[in-house]
Amino acid sequence: MDKKFKSRWFFSGLGQGVVTKHGFFGAKNVDAAAPYLPDFQSMADSLCEIISGFDEDGYDIHTVLPIQVGTSEPSITKNNSYLGDYSYSLTRGAIVIGKKRTD
């Protein structure tokens, strides 16, 4: 007999974006993994895969619980003065709960 509920989860990496790198010769903007930007395509693909699998197995989506990760970054001015840190959180994945259909 199948379980009444089942769960799956996923966690995505970081996306690409313009990141300011600070060095000895000042700051410059480069295209790199952005610590403030999740990989949206990976998240969407993972969520679609899980939902499709649940549907094929006869489960409806009951709950989608986001997985958020908090972090902080230093705030530095153009002349390399440290102003302090700022904090933020990113949704990097989700826990998906399915409930068995009762037809």
Q: How do the pLDDT tens digits run along the chain, 103 residues long?
A: 578 999 999 999 887 777 676 667 777 777 767 777 788 889 999 999 999 999 999 999 999 999 998 888 888 887 888 888 888 888 899 999 999 998 7
Residue 46, beta-bridge partner list = none
Contacts of 58 (CB under 8 A, 6+ apart): 2, 100, 101
Contacts of 99 (CB under 8 A, 6+ apart): 4, 5, 59, 60, 62
What is the pTM (predicted TM-score) of this model? 0.72
What's the pLDDT at 98? 97
pLDDT at 14: 82
